[in-house]
Amino acid sequence: MLDSRSFSPGHPSQMAKRQLNRRQSWRIEKIQEERASRAARRESRALEELEGGDLGPEQTGLVIAHFGVQVEVEAQQGEQAGEVFRCHLRANLPALVTGDRVVWRPGNQGIGVIVAQLPRQTELCRPDTRGQLKPVAANVDLIVIVFAPLPEPHANLIDRYLVAAEHAGITPLLLLNKADLVDEQNEKALNALLGVYRSLGYPLLEVSARDGDGMDSLRVRLDGHVSVFVGQSGVGKSSLVNSLLPGVETRVGALSEMTGKGTHTTTTARLFHFPGGGELIDSPGIREFGLMHVSRADVEAGFIEFRDVLGHCRFRDCKHDREPGCALLKALDEGRIQPQRMASYRHILSSMPEADY
Write out the residues near ligand GTP by the rule CB under 6 A. 177-178, 180-181, 208-210, 233-239, 252-255, 262-266, 284-285
Q: Which does 255 bind (CB under 5 to 8 A by kind): Mg ion, ligand GTP, Zn ion, none?
A: ligand GTP
Q: Which does 124 bind (CB under 5 to 8 A by kind): ligand GTP, Zn ion, Mg ion, none?
A: none
Nearer Cβ to Mg ion (163/271) = 271
Q: Which does 318 bind (CB under 5 to 8 A by kind): ligand GTP, Mg ion, Zn ion, none?
A: Zn ion
Count of CB atoms situated within 10 Å of the CB of 190: 21
Count of CB atoms situated within 10 Å of the CB of 68: 9
Q: Which does 215 bind (CB under 5 to 8 A by kind): Mg ion, ligand GTP, Zn ion, none?
A: none
302 in Cβ contact with 167 (< 8 Å): yes
Phi-psi category of residue 237: left, alpha or beta, with phi > 0 → left and psi -120 to 50 → alpha:
alpha
Nearer Cβ to ligand GTP (102/174) = 174
DSSP class of residue 142 equals E
Whole-number Å distance between alpha carbons of 155 and 196: 10
Q: Least distance (Å) from ligand GTP to the CB of residue 113? A: 31
126 in Cβ contact with 164 (< 8 Å): yes
Whole-number Å distance between alpha carbons of 324 and 85: 62
Residue nearest to ligand GTP (CB): 285
Nearer Cβ to Zn ion (228/318) = 318
Q: Tell whether residue 227 is a contact of Mg ion (CB under 5 A).
A: no
Of residues 296-355, which lie at the interface with Zn ion (CB under 5 A)? 313, 318, 320, 326, 328
Q: How many residues bind Mg ion (CB under 5 A)?
A: 4
Nearer Cβ to Zn ion (193/331) = 331
Whole-number Å distance between alpha carbons of 80 and 230: 31
The 8 Å CB, 24+ separation contacts for 211-215 are 211/179, 211/180, 212/243, 213/179, 213/180, 214/179, 215/243, 215/244
Nearer Cβ to ligand GTP (269/299) = 269
Q: Is the peptide bond before 203 cis (omega within 30 degrees of 0)?
A: no
309 in Cβ contact with 327 (< 8 Å): yes
Binding mask 249-278 for Mg ion (x = CB under 5 A): ----------------xx------------
Q: How many residues bind Zn ion (CB under 5 A)?
A: 5
Binding residues for Zn ion (CB under 5 A): 313, 318, 320, 326, 328
Binding residues for Mg ion (CB under 5 A): 237-238, 265-266
